[in-house]
Structure 1
Amino acid sequence: MSTRLGDLVERLGGRLIGDADKQVVGIAPLSDADASHITFLSNPKFRTQAAQTRAAALILSAADDEVVGPAYPGARIVAANPYAYFARAAQYFALLNAHVPVPGIHRTAFVDPEAQVSASASIGPHAAIEAGAWVGEDCVIGAGCVIGRNARVGAKTRFHPRVTFLDGCRIGERGIVHSGAVIGADGFGFANESGKWIKIPQTGAVTIGDDVEIGANTTIDRGALADTVIEDGVKLDNQIQIGHNCQIGAHTAMAGCVGVAGSAIIGKHCTFGGAAMVLGHLTIADNVHISSGSMVSRSINEPGQYTGFYPLAKNAEWEKSAVIVRNLPSMREKIRELEKNIKSLGEDKE
């Protein structure tokens, strides 16, 4: 389906320069766009390419428009944040072309008589909704999903196929949970007695706010006593592990394979690069940004960018560096001894 540029700008804002009646069908990269597409410029280093794109319209900042505008023949949409505008425009085109699930419960799904499912919700094949569960308006529960006893799914939340959402867990409105995610499995809680492990019952749940997206095969463990908490707007990529009793602050984002150990408290508006690790029982302040592959081994009290890994090197060079690091304690003692000797020589001269 296509839309008028004027309708798009009326919906999303921005300043349109050019033909408001031009019809466009979607968004494409600068290099691939044709006369039926919108494209966007969010990095000034691509200004030359933007001026040559064949797209019908270009989303760009006011600063880029001053440079690119005179050379580009198509329409322009000037926006304060072109990348965010692109994201919202992409959402709009996706909505225009999306398959709309039919409300109702598939004949192969199981819904316990004590569960409550909104008449506007769509329940897919072989889904199971257990006693006391509540599924809100316009929810989509994909094929093979499991919603446990007394779990709650807020309005307009979508579970892709094979999501497991266990007993007592809660998610707010407009959430997206991708296939294979497991929310509410037992946390890793054991007490050691004479060398044997005694399981600690995990009696908390998982509480998730509004507008949260959880990636494929990501796992969020239930709390031991209190709940694990994921606040509004959090974005979790694929294959992330969130341990029991963690708290993830609003609008924090984590890339794939991040691991957060139990009882860590992470602030709002943080970002974590892929494969970053956070040890348990730590506290991380708001607006902290952790580089990919970093290990957070202590609490962080101030916002900023933090990196904790050794730069990549050829193996032979890395082995030499490792030997030096291993010998640092003895080198430190030798330096201290030299400092004492030098001080002693200075005193003798006086």
Structure 2
Amino acid sequence: MADPSFFPVATSLSFNEVASLCGLTLPEGADPARRVEGAAPLETAGANDAAYMDNPKYVAALAGTSAGLCFVSPRFADRVPAGTVALVTPAPYHAFAKLLATFHPQALRPASMFGSAGVAPGAFVHATARLEADVTVDPGAVIGPGAEIGAGSIIGPQAVIGPQVRIGRDCSIGAGSTLQSALIGNRVIIHPGVRIGQDGFGFAMSPKGHMKVPQVGRVIIQDDVEIGANSCIDRGASRDTVIGEGTKIDNLVQIGHNCVIGRHCVIVSQVGIAGSSTLEDFVVLGGQVGLAGHLTIGMGAQIAAQSGVAGDVPRGARYGGYPAQPALSWARESALLKQLVAKRGKTTGGDESA
């Protein structure tokens, strides 16, 4: 259950309204007028709450839940206890997310910390900057010369928007973020502490020293992108760094100069992507994946957490390991290594120093 101090419930819904919202059908015998007043995990949900379940790890929690209503996949529908109404769907988590968004619309994107639209006292907006209607600029934020910000966008406290930066409509720029040399689309969420558009790591190296190469590209972030706290996206050197529409980037991610990230990619925390690499659409990188520079990761490819990628990855492939390789080969090698270690332990009597 959400803490109402931080996330008050905006409404309540009847069982019938919940089913209609999610495109589902109530089972026979369910009371369509019964109300749902909140959403909660299986373990803590009460009679007026909705929950969801689609993972075998939570079968016991499902059996013991007191939730009034539960979104559940077909294979677990017969495990729902008698006191809970089952809304059967192939995508329980998606249905639960729709309900959460209805109950807590204010949690969908960061809000202003200090109040309504307008420029708060203590903020600085350059005289040549252009702000459309309903832009919120929180205290301590700085908007540089020539910057443009679209209607409904929120600039958090201490954020710095550099000269000529363009920010679209209904964006949220988190506290303490810095944006320069960047064009930002609509409905982009940038969490606190993000750095966008700083120099890429470019040097012409020689035995006499390393000459700095001017980084004269931009960062282009398309619509509906979300960037997690303290992530860094370097501007391009000779071409633009691009983040494609709908891509979701977790906290503490580094994206180097000239990288092109496709549409609807998912990049989990602590990933590092070296310069001039390309991710095609719908690529997924697990946590702490490292990519060498000038690589292409094909559309729909998935890379397991902590993998080190040194070469191109084909479309739709599943890779893992260090260096990364097809997942099946990686699993076989890991199993073989385990067998060899076990065999060595037997031949040495368990004495690894032998």
Partner of 1:68: 79
Paired with 1:62 and 1:96, the residues of 2 have a C-alpha distance of 31
Kindly indicate whether residue 191 of structure 2 is the aligned counterpart of residue 204 of structure 1: no
Matched residue of 2:197: which SS?
Answer: strand
Aligned residue type for 1:287: G
Kindly indicate whether residue 108 of structure 2 is the aligned counterpart of residue 95 of structure 1: no
CA contact (8 A) 1:265 1:281 kept: yes
Partner of 1:147: 161
Paired with 1:211 and 1:141, the residues of 2 have a C-alpha distance of 17
Closer/same/farther in 2, CA of residues 150 and 96 from structure 1, 3 Å limit: closer
Matched residue of 1:29: which SS?
Answer: coil
Partner of 1:160: 174
How far 1:76 sits from its partner (Å)?
Answer: 2.7
Kindly indicate whether residue 21 of structure 2 is the aligned counterpart of residue 11 of structure 1: yes
Matched residue of 2:311: which SS?
Answer: coil
Paired with 1:311 and 1:148, the residues of 2 have a C-alpha distance of 49
Q: 2:277 aligns with which of 220, 239, 264?
A: 264
Residues 199-348 of structure 1: matches in 2 within 5 Å? 199-309=212-322
Paired with 1:185 and 1:16, the residues of 2 have a C-alpha distance of 53
Paired with 1:209 and 1:27, the residues of 2 have a C-alpha distance of 32
How far 1:97 sits from its partner (Å)?
Answer: 7.3
Paired with 1:85 and 1:224, the residues of 2 have a C-alpha distance of 43
Matched residue of 1:263: which SS?
Answer: coil
* TM-score of the superposed pair, with normalisation by structure 2: 0.83
Segments of 5+ residues of structure 2 without an aligned counterpart are 1-8, 323-332, 345-354
Closer/same/farther in 2, CA of residues 102 and 198 from structure 1, 3 Å limit: same
Kindly indicate whether residue 123 of structure 2 is the aligned counterpart of residue 109 of structure 1: yes
Paired with 1:142 and 1:51, the residues of 2 have a C-alpha distance of 44
Closer/same/farther in 2, CA of residues 215 and 116 from structure 1, 3 Å limit: same
Aligned residue type for 1:150: Q
How far 1:151 sits from its partner (Å)?
Answer: 0.9
CA contact (8 A) 2:101 2:107 kept: no
Q: For each residue in 1:289-318, what CA deviation from the matched residue of structure 2 results, as whole angstroms up to 9, or x when unmatched?
A: 11111000001123221012385999xx69
How far 1:194 sits from its partner (Å)?
Answer: 4.1
How far 1:9 sits from its partner (Å)?
Answer: 3.2
CA contact (8 A) 1:263 1:280 kept: yes
Matched residue of 2:99: which SS?
Answer: helix
Closer/same/farther in 2, CA of residues 292 and 45 from structure 1, 3 Å limit: closer
Paired with 1:242 and 1:3, the residues of 2 have a C-alpha distance of 42
Aligned residues: 315
CA contact (8 A) 2:285 2:305 kept: yes
How far 1:11 sits from its partner (Å)?
Answer: 3.0
Kindly indicate whether residue 147 of structure 2 is the aligned counterpart of residue 138 of structure 1: no
Q: 1:53 aligns with which of 47, 65, 69?
A: 65
Return 278-287 or 10-19, whichever deviates more: 10-19
Instruction: Indicate the structure with greater helix content.
Output: 1
- Tell me the percent identity: 35
Paired with 2:319 and 2:256, the residues of 1 have a C-alpha distance of 22
CA contact (8 A) 1:191 1:200 kept: yes
Matched residue of 1:15: which SS?
Answer: coil
Matched residue of 2:103: which SS?
Answer: helix
Q: 1:28 aligns with which of 40, 55, 60?
A: 40
Segments of 5+ residues of structure 1 without an aligned counterpart are 321-350
Paired with 2:56 and 2:147, the residues of 1 have a C-alpha distance of 50
How far 1:45 sits from its partner (Å)?
Answer: 4.9
RMSD of aligned Cα (Å):
2.4
Paired with 1:20 and 1:136, the residues of 2 have a C-alpha distance of 42
CA contact (8 A) 1:6 1:21 kept: yes
Closer/same/farther in 2, CA of residues 244 and 13 from structure 1, 3 Å limit: same
- Higher Rg of the two aligned structures: 1
CA contact (8 A) 2:304 2:319 kept: yes
Aligned residue type for 1:281: H
Matched residue of 1:149: which SS?
Answer: coil
Q: Which stretches of structure 1, 4 residues or more, deviate above 4 A after TM superposition?
A: 96-101, 310-314
Paired with 1:137 and 1:232, the residues of 2 have a C-alpha distance of 19
Closer/same/farther in 2, CA of residues 113 and 268 from structure 1, 3 Å limit: same
Paired with 1:264 and 1:11, the residues of 2 have a C-alpha distance of 41
Kindly indicate whether residue 198 of structure 2 is the aligned counterpart of residue 189 of structure 1: no
Aligned residue type for 2:193: G
CA contact (8 A) 1:15 1:79 kept: no
Closer/same/farther in 2, CA of residues 147 and 8 from structure 1, 3 Å limit: farther
Matched residue of 1:16: which SS?
Answer: coil
Partner of 1:338: none
Matched residue of 2:101: which SS?
Answer: helix
How far 1:182 sits from its partner (Å)?
Answer: 0.1
Return 156-165 or 239-248, whichever deviates more: 156-165
